[in-house]
A and B are shown apart, each in its own frame.
Chain A
Amino acid sequence: MPRWGMVIDLDKCFACQSCTAACRMENNTPVAGQDQAEMGRAILWNEVLPFVEGEYPNIVETMIPRPCMHCDNPACIKVCPVQATFKNEEGVVLVDYDRCIGCRLCTVACPYTVRYFNWYQPEWPEALKEHLNPEPEVKPRPKGVVEKCTFCTQRLRKAREEAEAAGRVFNATDYIPACVQTCTGHARYFGDLDDPNSLVSKLAHSPRAFRLFEELGTQPKVYYLKQG
């Protein structure tokens, strides 16, 4: 079974936030609106986060797109009392929206704060409901459950169905999440980390590669390549 992972080359990423928008349009995350966004409740699974260090004029500003790390030893799955969040056999951390009781222990446990909570029932004006992605996996979630980046599992399923329909063996390069496809700097790579020949695992072992909070032992599967 493939072990999906992603590499983001910060030298080619230009913080254009296309991934943030693509992720929302692909996965129907709700719009929070002005008052909710002010309270910090905007749900953007694949947010780009700005970090600034230094005094004027010597400033280092890094902007890091942060999808879910889909850790191999995730801090969130350990603490879920009902196994509403689990890791499938391909290493992707998912959430079962029908079983989640909304206790939010996983959201406080995750060191990367990638998990979002539906504080209210998501709603769209009547006209805008038309544009929602009809895939069953991304049906808008009810209020009171946690949701997060899923590496676009609906695209994986469709890629498998297409491979099956075309009668060929599904291989790891047939499927990429929406953010990888739309990255304007072609900075995102996606694939099977267990396959040594895949571009992803080669880049993951490049000297420029680093991961967020490696010391925590969560073994994240999203690698970043140093800028510059």
Chain B
Amino acid sequence: MPITNRHEQTILAPIRRVGMGDYLLWGSLLVLMLAGLGAWIWQYIEGLGITGMNRPVYWGVYITNFVFFIGLAHSGTFISAILRVAGQSWRAPLTRAAEAITLFSLPFGAGSILIDMGHPERILNLIFYGRFQSPIMWDVTAVGLYMLSSIVFFYLSLLPDIALCRDRLTDVPNWQKRMYKVLALGWKDSPEQYHRLEKVLDGMAVFMTMLVVTVHTVVSWLFGMTVQPGWHTALIGPFFLLGAILSGTAAVVIALALLRKVYHLEEVLHNGLFNSLRKLLITFILGWLYMMIAEHLTIGYASMHEEMVVLNDKFSGTYSLVFWNMTVLVFFVPLLIFIFKGKNNVGWMVFASVLINIGMWMERYIVIIPTETSPRLFHEMGGGSYLPALPEVLITIACFAGLVFLYALFTRFFPIIPIWETAESLPGHAHNAEPAPVSSTATGD
């Protein structure tokens, strides 16, 4: 059936033709990824010695990447699952974009652990000799389950649109058609199917919300469970969780703005959406600030000796530069931008979100490294020092390039805006029991 309404037409446009720009983009991203892969192979052959890690700073940029990318992975679940549970129908256009960030950042998060291991080829030991008392086993379970669940959740919400592509897109290469046919699993747009899909998605949304809370708490318990000063605090779980949601939502804003610009989806991803996200971001930044104050005030006030060593290192020591930049980048500047400049101004929103994510990467760095550089048994000149070396830089860039590459690849072959959900705003597809959503232009205050 030829494309009839304009809505589908704008969303399916990007899939039409794979231009020269795409190949160029994919090529450059692939080069970066191969550089990262080469660095990892060099590290596997030579040994972890080529990184900057040493004694006592045994964990460095790789573990920071691990926490950061798992943090990014919270965007998808938050936008689609939690808002679906909360019945916020305005989230419809951006659910897939958000879940895509989750889907494509998770492998690089989990991959960072693999890269950081001394013997990656012994990964199966985790299964053969898995020991559940270790926080790493909790991580493996939680992150693994979360990855599996977000793949299924993503695929299910994609199903109707794949069927739509199968039916609508006739002038695409054959292999693409066959792919749509296979992936659509014989979807027939029947109301019963939609009804079952809605029920399953609602059920999974509840499960995913609970799961995402466990994932990032468990990631933070890698540090929380040790007795090291600066790590061993009860607040590290919620602190990391809120940081992750903040970083995830900021990532969603960036992704949406890029999509809007590249694929001219202005009227689908209208300013109202960004205004709602802006309100969310403001609350999360304030929440994150609350966590920061709660943690550092408690440590500073009680001022136990070894805790103060780490705290002073952060506030006025070697890491004071990174720490204060991080607080400014994540708290002051974005907050001011959102409050004064952000309304109806996507450009500023993106700038603030980029700042937030840079700040959040530094925040993970600040939580991990200073505790390691001032060990409890702090003898004369015993403090460690750590500078990331070439392989760590290459692999970090490769992770980011990988995320963007997968994202770009996906938007080329599948509609990034869920047509069947947004189509509800048009008559004819009365599948959703909710009342007709408020028309798009009126939202936002």
Contacts and interface: CB of A to CB of B under 8 A. Distances in A.
* Direct contact between the two chains A and B in their complex (CB within 8 A): yes
Interface of A: 36, 39-41, 49-52, 64, 66, 75, 78-84, 99-105, 107-109, 111-113, 116-121, 143-146, 212-213, 216, 218
Place the interface of chain B in its size category. Answer: 35 or more
A113 B49 contact: no
B441 interface: no
B384 interface: yes
A99 B48 contact: no
B330 to A, nearest CB: 25
B131 A50 contact: no
Max chain B C-beta neighbours (<10 A), residue from A64, A102, A103, A109? A103
B134 A117 contact: no
7 contacts: A79-B133, A81-B134, A81-B140, A99-B122, A105-B135, A119-B54, A121-B47
A120 B118 CA distance: 10
A40 B54 contact: yes
Contact of B119 (A120, A145, A216): A145
B56 interface: yes
Nearest to B46: A120
Contacts of B228: 108-109, 111
Interface stretch (B81-89, B242-250, B373-381): B373-381
Contacts of A116: 55
A119 B385 CA distance: 16
Contact of A50 (B113, B225, B380): B380
A151 B122 CA distance: 27
B49 A102 contact: no
A66 B384 contact: no
Interface string B27-51: 0000000000000000000111100
Contacts of A41: 49, 54-55
A212 B377 contact: yes
Given A101-B117, A108-B228, A51 B380 contact: yes
Contacts of A112: 376-377
Nearest to A66: B377
B118 A103 contact: yes
Contact of B226 (A82, A101, A108, A121): A108
A81 B137 contact: yes
B377 A111 contact: yes
B385 to A, nearest CB: 8
A99 B55 contact: no
Contact of A104 (B46, B58, B377): B58
A62 to B, nearest CB: 9
A38 to B, nearest CB: 9
A75 B377 CA distance: 15
Contacts of A121: 47
Instruction: Please report whether the interface of chain B is mostly helix, strand, loop or mixed according to DSSP.
Output: loop
Nearest to B57: A40
Contact of B129 (A40, A49, A99, A119): A99
Contact of B375 (A81, A102, A113, A144): A113
A104 B118 contact: yes
B126 interface: yes
B99 interface: no
- The 7 A-B residue pairs whose C-beta atoms are closest, nearest first, are A102-B118, A144-B118, A119-B49, A49-B379, A81-B136, A81-B134, A143-B47
Contacts of B48: 102, 117, 119, 143-144
Max chain B C-beta neighbours (<10 A), residue from A80, A119, A143? A119
A120 B140 CA distance: 27
Given A103-B118, A143-B47, A117 B58 contact: yes
Nearest to A35: B49
Contacts of B438: none
A113 B55 contact: yes
A120 B49 contact: yes
Contacts of B58: 104, 107-108, 117
B348 interface: no
B49 A52 contact: no
Given A81-B131, A103-B116, A107-B56, 6 more contacts: A41-B54, A82-B129, A100-B122, A101-B126, A120-B49, A213-B377
Contacts of A81: 126, 130-131, 134, 136-137, 140
A70 to B, nearest CB: 16
B59 to A, nearest CB: 6
Contact of A78 (B123, B128, B134): B134
Given A109-B227, A144-B119, A101 B125 contact: yes
Interface in B355-408: 372, 375-377, 379-380, 382, 384-385
Contacts of B52: 39
